[in-house]
Each structure stands twice: as C-alpha cells, then as structure tokens.
Chain A
C-alpha cells in the first residue's frame, strides 16, 4: 500500500486512512485533534465557572450544574486534553528523534488512541444522558458513592477505557526507546525530549494501574453492591484517597516532564547553543520521577494521618524543588551567551520560566503540612496547580506546537497571530490566577458555587473572570491561526529552525511516511548539529539502501474500542434494566472477537522496495 506523491483523494479515502492508520505521525495528528477538541470543551467549562463567579451569589447556573462543571473541567482538561496532547507530541517527535521508522507496536499505538477517544466521548455523553459526574475530578469515595444519577458511573467507565489507552501508549514508548534507537545512539546521546518521553512512560506504567484498581473498586461498589467504601459493612473511604493520589501525584509529573523535555529542545535551538548540563538534566528528570512517587499523601495532610506521616511527606514534597530548580537554572544558563531568537515558541518558553517557578514556589508552601491546614481546599491550592499546569503544561504545549508544527504539518504557524495569542493568554492567565492566591489566603473555599458579598472577595473574583475572557480570545485566535496556516500558510523547508536533532534530518517537513530512507548513524549528542559543524549538512547513513519494512493499517483498533464503548453503556445502565447486559456482554464479546482476529490473522506488514525509494530520491 504505497502512497503516490501528492494525490488528491476523496474525503472518504482521507477518513478511512485516519480510521485505520498505524503510522505514528498520523496517530499524532489524531491525538492533537482529539486533545484539542477536549481542550476547547474544558475551556468552555472553565469560562462558565468563571462567569458564575463573576459576582457574589450569582445564579448563572445552578449549584448542581456547577458541581458538574467543575468536575468535568478538571477531568476533561487533565485526562482528555493535556494527556492526549502530550501523547500526540511524543508520538510525532520521539521516533524521529531516536532515528526510528515507527514505534515498537504500531497497532497498539492506534488502539491506545481510539480507546482514549471513545473513553472521552463516553465521559462527555453524560452531559446528555442525565448529567455529568459531579463529585470533583478527584471523585472521593463518600461523595461519589452518594452521587445520584449515573454521572459518576460515566466518570468510572470513561476514565477506565481512556486510561487503558494511555497505559498502552506508555508501554509502547518504553519498548521503542529501549529497542529502536538508531545505530550510535546510546542512552546518553538521546535528545532530552526522548528522555522525557522515556521517564514519563515509566511513570505512566507504574501510576495508571493504581487508578485502574481504584476505578474498579468504585465501579463494583456503585454498580454491583460491593462494600469497599461502605462503612456499614466495614469499608474504608480512605482507600480511595490513597489509591487516587498514588496515581494522582505521579500523574501531574506525567503532565509536566514531557514539557520539560520540550523546553530542553527549544532553548538550545533558539539560543544556538547546546543544552547546559545535559547529564544533570537527565538525572534531575529521573529524580523528579522517583521522588514523585513518594509524596502522594501531601494531598491528604488534613485527613488525619498523624504527624509522623505528614512530616515524611512534607519533606519529600519540598525535596522535589531541588532537581526542578536545577532544570530552571540550566535552561537559563543555556540562553546565557547564546544568540537568542525571540519567536512564538521562545515566547511561550520564556513565559513558562517565571510562571512555573511561582507555581513551584507555592507548591513548596503547600508542602508544609502545618501551613497546609490553612491552605487546604481554598483558592490558594487552585492558584498553585493552575500556575504549574497552565504555566507549565499549557505554555509548553503551545511552545511545542509552534516549534514542531512544521514537522507535523509542513507549515509554519503565523508569527504575528502567534505573538498576539501569547501575550493575550499570558496577561489573561496571570489576571485570573495570581489574584486567586489572595482569594485563597483570604479564606475563599474552592468548589463553592457562590460566594457572599462584602467579604472582600468581589473585586478579586471579577478580575479573575475578566482574565478568562483574555484567555478565550487567545485560544480563538490560535484556532484562526491554525486554519489560516492550513490555507495560506508559509510552507516549511526541511529544517526551518536550523535544528540540532534527528527529527529535522529526514529530508522534508513533514517527513516521508517511512521516516528515514536509511537509518542515520549517530555520532554524539545533537547528532544533526555535529554533522552540520563538520560541514556535511546531512546525516551519514548507517545502513545500505534496502527494502523498508512497514506495518499494515487496520480497522481493528477502532472496532475494538467501539466494543468497549458499547460495553461501557451496558455497565452503567445494567442496574436499571437487565436488558442492558446485552450491550455489556455484546460489547465485550465484540472487543474480544477483534482481539482474537488480531491474534489469529497473520500480519507481517509490507515492504517498500528499494527501487521505489531510489525513485523518490530523484
């Protein structure tokens, strides 16, 4: 199934291509589209929250709807926007950076995407079928058990399905990085983004199973009458909190480490200077991941674990600031003495430095168990995590999109719109969230659908809401930028930023569908830069030109995920009517059938013949 050069094809063919693709670059497009869509949904939910809080005792939406809004805003943004966008970036870039032709398990890659997509759709269908989950994105067991209606059931099934997809993605990236690096690329010659992908994938591998079990426990309790969280039968709701945060804390490191990798690519490229302290950066990333597993109970300081437990977790929490600080200093040192170019990607990266640092600082403040008794469940916490997630993850995603847009789509995003987008977002972000530190210190609790007047909270909330309008404008402008670029944008050359790493070395932007005609020989860190400095201009091949093995496309990942999606409805509604067991068993059965077909039907892929590659060269 070879592709002719540029060929007009029908929309149907285009759709089928994307439904059945196992190509990591196209799967990256799918993740970006899906993640981007849910980012918009999450953003709308955020604006609705802020409008409700624009003035005291507002009645823009009801209390119940407000609870659904905050729950869905958090759940959507973390699980359905940030994670998929990151998986998309890792899919688009990592295999190219390590000089591979695809990931280890292309079929599994596609399956991971479709599971995420169907899980996200399932979760959001709750809006239309009786109400979204309303127990917070953390869905603590007591409240979640009592939540009437099926909202929380949608939460459980949607996240279970989407989470399975993420776990597959993690295993896939790990195997790819261990097994498929180009000749000469030792671990310590891997670019930082690939290192970040590796370590993030380890975090995914160890964190998601805890969530899986936690969701099963809640599912069994709500849908099948078990007693894990039923105090009358001996259950214990603290189990939910432990398992949730044993997942949840590594999760936030999953959200930030890839972006640390992104910044470690952008700063050197646009300072025309190598990354300062590469080895320290690698080990700092490892240390952050390691410590990240040992601090989960800092979300539970006020639960009553006792002073010994609280102290241990407080110290661990503060310790994470050290490797993080090392990274910030190394980025600054990378720029120092470099020839710095300020474009959109750089603006987002520069904006990240103070914003994330502030977020990290308030994190250390929250890490003091004693002080946290005052901060807990106030807007101070909300300010903190938005500073790190928006200031870190969202800024980083925008930076990465500007940087790698040429690689992924063959065009450069419009700079003027890019700069306007950045500044309006940056201003809006700080307007919204800086104020919230003080609202929290003044005692405003979180997750409250109204606040009372004459408590000194009116002006702060008003300004906070105005900030959200700035951010909305910015995102709309970014969308316009994407559409404009697709229609009239400047086409990208093979190496638009004079890059240092292998993703820019395939000969075109975007790369050909087989990535590298011949796998490149890697001679050191920043392999493309080494060749440029030697006067070669391009990579030396590590193998003779030969037939290239490619994987076959398949509709099975889509179908399998559809099966689990249908089964999800079965699980949710079987409490009401036993007929729903048809959907439950039918869906699972269909998914299992797809698995068996996959196991039984041979799939050896296909070969691109040497002659065809030679033709494409000329």
Chain B
C-alpha cells in the first residue's frame, strides 16, 4: 500500500470513517444507493402483494410457511445487525482485533441465515412442488425473498473480501470508510427483512 501519511494519524479521529474526503463520499454514496434500493424492493413488494393470492391451484401461503423457522431466521439476522454495531463500536475505539472478531461473528450469522433460507426453499420445492415457475405467487415469492437472499449473499462475499484483505493492516483512515460502508449495507438488509417477514410470512399466515 503506497504510504500516504495522512491516512495513519497518531490519534485516530472520533469518526474515522468520515474523516477523509473519500470517506465522506463513500458515506453519502451508500446512503443514496440505499434510497434507490428502497424503491427497488418496494417494486418487488408491490408485485408480491398483487400476486400473493394467485396460487394457480398450488399451495397457498398459509399451507407453506412455518413461523418457527422464520422467527429463527429473523433473530439470527437481527443479532447479526447488532454484532456489526459492536464491530463499528470497536472501530471507533480504534480496537482492530475486536472489530475483526465482531465482523467475523456477523459473517457467521449471515451464513447461517443463508443456510436456513436454502433449507426453506429446498423444503418448498421438494415437499410441495412450490417453485419459481409453478404459479404467479411462486414467481413473486421467490423473486422478492430471493432478491433479498441475493443481497445477503453479496454482503457476505463483500465482508469476507474486506476481512481477508485488511487482516494484516490494522485500522486506518483508508479502510475505516470501507468497513463502515459495509456495516450500513448490512443494517439495511435487516431493514428489508423486517418487511419481508411481516408482509410475506406474517401476513401470509394471517390471510
């Protein structure tokens, strides 16, 4: 890494992720991106709500969904959000080792969430024949929940890349914004999940 001394101050500033121009730009860039993602997911939610009763004779949401699994997935993702907050807390206290630790835990929770979701989808496909193509409801369900899962997957890959790349570097003003940008993204996919479990699974069971 080319040595730019301004990136390694003796005293790390209070908000290292926003201390440089690049940091401020990344911060805004991600928040604006999240604004756009809000409309993206709203389009998917709208499509789902319009098509959730179009089951084409196949299984309905009441028959398919199991609230216990969804509750477990929710707690896992919510906890991973908390662990990423811990990671950022340690980053602001300039404790690299603890930042890495909590980011790692976040990643593990993320992978567990994905594992459970894969199990869930496999269960629907094999037990019920409920696929992406079997009905409009199926298409809409897998599109919405699948896009969310895709975002989680992208997040996990991003996290692993960040952690490996920065493992030997410690915290500085170059990578602090990168960690923070990831953390904001990770919180946002929990935001979307809150609406997913409410609109898809809870309303699916209520009818």
List A residues at the B interface (Cβ < 8 Å): 104-105, 167, 170-172, 174-175, 178-180, 205-210, 212-214, 216-217, 220-221, 224-228, 230, 232-236, 239, 242-243, 246, 596, 599-600, 602, 604
B118 contacts partner chain A, Cβ-Cβ < 8 Å: no
Chain A interface helix/strand/loop/mixed: helix
Given A209-B37, A213-B40, A243-B43, A171 and B51 contact (CB-CB distance below 8 Å) = no
B122 contacts partner chain A, Cβ-Cβ < 8 Å: no
| Residue in A closest to B139 when the chains form the complex, CB atoms | A226
| Residue in A closest to B3 when the chains form the complex, CB atoms | A604
- Asked whether B54 lies within 8 Å of A105 as measured between CB atoms, the reply is no
Given contacts A205-B39, A224-B133, A235-B139, 19 further A-B pairs with CB under 8 A are A170-B36, A171-B32, A174-B28, A175-B32, A179-B24, A180-B21, A206-B39, A210-B40, A212-B40, A213-B44, A213-B47, A220-B139, A225-B133, A227-B139, A228-B139, A233-B134, A235-B54, A235-B136, A236-B50
| Residue in A closest to B24 when the chains form the complex, CB atoms | A179
- Asked whether A104 lies within 8 Å of B29 as measured between CB atoms, the reply is yes
Closest Cβ of chain A to B198, distance in Å, is 20
| Residue in A217, A226, A232 with the greatest tally of chain B CB atoms within 10 Å | A226
| Residue in A171, A234, A239 with the greatest tally of chain B CB atoms within 10 Å | A234
Which chain B residues border A228 with CB–CB below 8 Å?
A: 47, 51, 136, 139-140, 143
Which chain B residues border A205 with CB–CB below 8 Å?
A: 32, 35-36, 39
Which chain B residues border A242 with CB–CB below 8 Å?
A: 46
Pick the contact of B36 from A206, A239, A246 — CB < 8 Å?
A: A206
Which chain B residues border A596 with CB–CB below 8 Å?
A: 161
Q: Which of B120-174 contact A (CB under 8 A)?
A: 132-140, 143, 158, 161-162, 165, 174
Closest Cβ of chain B to A228, distance in Å, is 5
- Asked whether B40 lies within 8 Å of A234 as measured between CB atoms, the reply is no
- Asked whether B165 lies within 8 Å of A600 as measured between CB atoms, the reply is yes
Which chain B residues border A206 with CB–CB below 8 Å?
A: 35-36, 39
Q: List the 4 closest A-B pairs by CB distance, nearest first.
A: A234-B54, A234-B136, A209-B40, A226-B139
CA of A602 to CA of B21 in the docked complex: distance in angstroms? 16
- Asked whether B32 lies within 8 Å of A104 as measured between CB atoms, the reply is no
Which chain B residues border A216 with CB–CB below 8 Å?
A: 143
Given A104-B28, A174-B32, A213-B40, A604 and B2 contact (CB-CB distance below 8 Å) = yes
Closest Cβ of chain B to A304, distance in Å, is 15
- Asked whether B43 lies within 8 Å of A175 as measured between CB atoms, the reply is no
- Asked whether A233 lies within 8 Å of B165 as measured between CB atoms, the reply is no
23 contacts between A and B (CB under 8 A): A104-B28, A105-B25, A171-B33, A175-B25, A179-B24, A179-B25, A205-B32, A205-B35, A208-B36, A214-B43, A224-B133, A226-B133, A227-B56, A228-B51, A228-B139, A233-B54, A233-B135, A234-B135, A235-B136, A239-B50, A239-B51, A243-B43, A600-B161
Given A175-B29, A227-B56, A227-B139, A167 and B43 contact (CB-CB distance below 8 Å) = no
CA of A144 to CA of B28 in the docked complex: distance in angstroms? 38
CA of A388 to CA of B84 in the docked complex: distance in angstroms? 50
Given A175-B29, A602-B2, A234 and B51 contact (CB-CB distance below 8 Å) = yes
CA of A228 to CA of B132 in the docked complex: distance in angstroms? 10
Closest Cβ of chain B to A229, distance in Å, is 9
| Residue in A178, A207, A221 with the greatest tally of chain B CB atoms within 10 Å | A178
CA of A236 to CA of B21 in the docked complex: distance in angstroms? 47
Which chain A residues border B137 with CB–CB below 8 Å?
A: 234
CA of A214 to CA of B136 in the docked complex: distance in angstroms? 15
Closest Cβ of chain B to A389, distance in Å, is 24
Closest Cβ of chain B to A513, distance in Å, is 19
Interface code B37-61, partner A: CB below 8 Å = 1, 0 otherwise? 1011001101100110111100000
Pick the contact of B1 from A214, A226, A599, A602 — CB < 8 Å?
A: A602
Chain B interface helix/strand/loop/mixed: helix
| Residue in B47, B134, B136 with the greatest tally of chain A CB atoms within 10 Å | B136
- Asked whether A217 lies within 8 Å of B135 as measured between CB atoms, the reply is no
Which chain A residues border B133 with CB–CB below 8 Å?
A: 224-227
Given A212-B40, A220-B143, A225-B133, A236 and B28 contact (CB-CB distance below 8 Å) = no
Interface code B1-23, partner A: CB below 8 Å = 1, 0 otherwise? 11010000000000000000100
| Residue in B closest to A242 when the chains form the complex, CB atoms | B46
- Asked whether A175 lies within 8 Å of B28 as measured between CB atoms, the reply is yes
CA of A228 to CA of B53 in the docked complex: distance in angstroms? 12
CA of A90 to CA of B161 in the docked complex: distance in angstroms? 34
Closest Cβ of chain A to B189, distance in Å, is 15
Which chain A residues border B37 with CB–CB below 8 Å?
A: 209
Which chain B residues border A217 with CB–CB below 8 Å?
A: 47, 143
| Residue in B47, B162, B174 with the greatest tally of chain A CB atoms within 10 Å | B47
Which chain A residues border B32 with CB–CB below 8 Å?
A: 171, 174-175, 205
CA of A171 to CA of B25 in the docked complex: distance in angstroms? 10
CA of A557 to CA of B36 in the docked complex: distance in angstroms? 22
- Asked whether A236 lies within 8 Å of B51 as measured between CB atoms, the reply is yes
Closest Cβ of chain A to B105, distance in Å, is 22
Which chain B residues border A243 with CB–CB below 8 Å?
A: 43, 46-47
Closest Cβ of chain A to B17, distance in Å, is 14
Given A104-B25, A225-B133, A227-B136, A209 and B54 contact (CB-CB distance below 8 Å) = no
Closest Cβ of chain A to B170, distance in Å, is 15
Given A213-B43, A213-B47, A228-B51, A233 and B56 contact (CB-CB distance below 8 Å) = yes
Which chain B residues border A178 with CB–CB below 8 Å?
A: 28
Which chain A residues border B1 with CB–CB below 8 Å?
A: 602, 604
Which chain B residues border A220 with CB–CB below 8 Å?
A: 132, 139, 143
CA of A215 to CA of B32 in the docked complex: distance in angstroms? 22
| Residue in B closest to A236 when the chains form the complex, CB atoms | B50
Which chain A residues border B33 with CB–CB below 8 Å?
A: 171
| Residue in B24, B37, B53 with the greatest tally of chain A CB atoms within 10 Å | B24
CA of A206 to CA of B54 in the docked complex: distance in angstroms? 28
Interface code B174-202, partner A: CB below 8 Å = 1, 0 otherwise? 10000000000000000000000000000
Which chain A residues border B50 with CB–CB below 8 Å?
A: 236, 239
Which chain B residues border A246 with CB–CB below 8 Å?
A: 43
Closest Cβ of chain A to B36, distance in Å, is 5
CA of A104 to CA of B134 in the docked complex: distance in angstroms? 45
Closest Cβ of chain B to A343, distance in Å, is 38
- Asked whether B136 lies within 8 Å of A230 as measured between CB atoms, the reply is yes
| Residue in A closest to B47 when the chains form the complex, CB atoms | A239
CA of A210 to CA of B134 in the docked complex: distance in angstroms? 24
Which chain A residues border B21 with CB–CB below 8 Å?
A: 179-180
Interface code B59-77, partner A: CB below 8 Å = 1, 0 otherwise? 0000000000000000000
CA of A580 to CA of B137 in the docked complex: distance in angstroms? 29
CA of A278 to CA of B136 in the docked complex: distance in angstroms? 51
Closest Cβ of chain B to A237, distance in Å, is 11
CA of A210 to CA of B41 in the docked complex: distance in angstroms? 9
| Residue in B closest to A205 when the chains form the complex, CB atoms | B36
Closest Cβ of chain A to B130, distance in Å, is 12
Which chain B residues border A602 with CB–CB below 8 Å?
A: 1-2, 174
Pick the contact of B29 from A171, A207, A226, A230 — CB < 8 Å?
A: A171
- Asked whether B47 lies within 8 Å of A167 as measured between CB atoms, the reply is no
Closest Cβ of chain A to B125, distance in Å, is 14
Which chain A residues border B143 with CB–CB below 8 Å?
A: 216-217, 220, 226, 228
- Asked whether B165 lies within 8 Å of A236 as measured between CB atoms, the reply is no
Pick the contact of A105 from B29, B47, B161, B165 — CB < 8 Å?
A: B29
Closest Cβ of chain B to A363, distance in Å, is 25
CA of A226 to CA of B140 in the docked complex: distance in angstroms? 9
Closest Cβ of chain A to B129, distance in Å, is 13
